[in-house]
A = this chain, B = another copy of it.
Amino acid sequence: MDARTLCLGVLQLGDASGYEIKKVFEEGVLSHIYETSFGSIYPALNRLVEDGLAICTEMPQDKRPDKKVYSITPAGRAALAAALQQVPAPDRIRSDFLFILMFGHLVPRPHLERLIDQRINWYRDTLARIDKCDTANWSASAQLFAGLGRTVFTAAAEYLEQNRHLLEQQESPTDRNGPAAAVAE
Contact = CB atoms under 8 A, between A and B. Distances in A.
B99 A115 contact: no
A126 B141 CA distance: 23
A107 B88 contact: no
Interface string A1-39: 100011001001110000000000000011011110000
A72 interface: yes
B184 A1 contact: no
Contacts of A128: none
B88 A142 contact: no
A32 B93 contact: yes
A145 B98 contact: yes
A103 B12 contact: yes
A92 B148 contact: no
A77 interface: yes
B140 A167 contact: yes
B98 A29 contact: no
B102 A88 contact: no
Contacts of A29: 102
B183 A164 contact: no
A74 B184 CA distance: 12
Interface stretch (A43-51, A55-63, A151-159): A151-159
B140 A34 contact: no
Contacts of A170: 139-141
Nearest to A108: B85
Contacts of A145: 98, 101-102, 104
A136 interface: no
A94 interface: yes
B13 A99 contact: no
A22 B163 CA distance: 30
